[in-house]
């Protein structure tokens, strides 16, 4: 970053030159993901630029999503994820979606067992008010990367033993003869809470997509109420529309 190595090379205002220089560093991996950027003062010293100029360049990189500022600990290079396209017209499972892309899925378990149903679950799954649900709550990873937080609730006769689910819920349901055949999904935009963001490996307040899926068995009975929280920086949902 010494000024004689780059300043004046590409023209334009100095903060733009510094921004470009830092972008190059990020692209080429000289500044790897999750590494910290030297403090503003140090950067100003190294580059022989004013702190105002340095701050302006950093602010632009924050806006571009390349750098993230963490309260009290400085600026960090953000991990870049390739966005995934997810079809909205097929009833597939997370495991199937990732397998299609040649990625392996893993889960970090947050809750798995029989629990007292919440009012939402009672209503969606048509349970008795003090009924139980089989709950499967996990952080879902693909290729080792956190992708989504997913909390599924099912009637206990559809999934009597949630501990049977080690990788794919739908695979277990299929084995039990309870694979859903239809689902209704609602997608909403959210800002991730501190806890959810931490689990997903992003910053508090970052964009997330909250998806509520209610799925049905061939008999028409409700099989599942699942709330998924997908990373906003990792997914594009795609639907085909016809006249
Ligand atoms: C998907 C579904 C979720 C389902 C899960 C089963 C969305 C938004 N949600 O993540 O409702 O429970 O797949 O996945 O697509 P699994 O069989 O891999 O456990």
User: pLDDT, tens digit, for every residue of 154-175?
Assistant: 999 999 999 999 999 999 999 9
Write the CA distances from 136 to 26, 113, 150, integer angstroms: 38, 7, 8
* Residue 36: DSSP 8-state: B
- Residue whose Cα lies nearest atom 10 of ligand 1: it is 94
**Mutation to probe ligand 1, out of 94, 185, 229 (largest number of atoms < 8 A from CB):** 94
pLDDT of 224 reads 98
ipTM over 0.90: yes
- Residue whose Cα lies nearest atom 13 of ligand 1: it is 93
Quick check: 235 and 83 in contact, CB under 8 A? Answer: yes
CA-based radius of gyration for the chain? 23
Task: Report how far ligand 1's centroid is from the alpha carbon of 94 (Å).
Answer: 5
CA atoms within 13 A on the CB side of 42: 6
pLDDT of 68 reads 86
pLDDT of 161 reads 97
**Mutation to probe ligand 1, out of 150, 153, 179 (largest number of atoms < 8 A from CB):** 150
Task: Report how far ligand 1's centroid is from the alpha carbon of 178 (Å).
Answer: 14
Q: What are phi and psi of 19, to 5 degrees?
A: -60, -45
Atom of ligand 1 nearest to the CA of 107: 19
3-state SS of 139-188? EEEECCEEEEEEEEEEECCCCCCHHHCCCCHHHHHHHCCCCCCEEEEEEE
Q: List, for the chain, all residue ranges whose pLDDT scores fall below the cut of 50.
A: none
- Residue whose Cα lies nearest atom 16 of ligand 1: it is 168
Rounded CA-CA distance 27/119 in Å is 48
Locate all alpha helices (DSSP H) within the chain, ordered by sequence.
Answer: 14-28, 40-47, 51-63, 94-100, 119-125, 169-175, 194-200
pLDDT of 77 reads 92
Rounded CA-CA distance 100/91 in Å is 14
Enumerate helices (H) and strands (E) in the chain, giving the number of each: 7, 10
Nearest to residue 132, comparing CAs of 117, 113, 154?
Answer: 117
Burial of 126: CB neighbours in 10 Å, binned 0-12, 13-18, 19+:
exposed
- Residue whose Cα lies nearest atom 6 of ligand 1: it is 93
Q: Summarize pLDDT for 16-58 with one digit per residue, the tens.
A: 999 999 999 988 889 998 899 999 999 999 999 999 999 999 9
> Pocket around ligand 1: residues whose beta carbon is below 6 Å from it?
93-95, 150, 152, 168-171, 211, 213, 224, 226, 228
Task: Report how far ligand 1's centroid is from the alpha carbon of 191 (Å).
Answer: 21
Q: At 41, is the secondary structure helix, strand, or coil?
A: helix
* pTM confidence score: 0.75
């Amino acid at each position: 970053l010494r000024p004689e190595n780059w300043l004046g090379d590409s023209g334009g205002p100095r903060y733009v030159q510094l921004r470009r220089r830092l972008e190059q560093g990020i692209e080429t991996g000289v500044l790897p993901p999750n590494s910290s950027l030297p403090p503003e003062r140090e950067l100003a010293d190294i580059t022989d630029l004013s702190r105002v100029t340095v701050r302006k360049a950093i602010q632009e990189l924050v806006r571009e999503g390349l750098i993230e500022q963490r309260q009290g600990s400085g600026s960090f290079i953000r991990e870049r994820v390739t966005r995934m396209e997810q079809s909205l017209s097929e009833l597939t499972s997370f495991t199937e979606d990732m397998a299609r892309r040649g990625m392996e899925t893993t889960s970090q378990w947050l809750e798995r067992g029989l629990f007292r149903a919440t009012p939402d679950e009672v209503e969606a799954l048509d349970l008795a008010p003090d009924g139980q649900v089989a709950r499967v709550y996990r952080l879902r990873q693909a290729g080792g990367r956190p992708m989504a937080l997913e909390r599924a609730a099912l009637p206990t006769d559809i999934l009597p033993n949630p501990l049977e689910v080690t990788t794919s819920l739908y695979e277990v349901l299929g084995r039990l003869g309870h694979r859903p055949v239809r689902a209704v999904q609602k997608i909403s935009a959210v800002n991730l809470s501190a806890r959810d963001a931490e689990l997903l490996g992003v910053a508090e307040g970052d964009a997330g997509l909250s998806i509520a899926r209610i799925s049905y068995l061939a008999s028409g009975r409700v099989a599942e109420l699942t709330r998924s929280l997908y990373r906003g920086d990792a997914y594009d949902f795609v639907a085909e529309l016809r006249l």
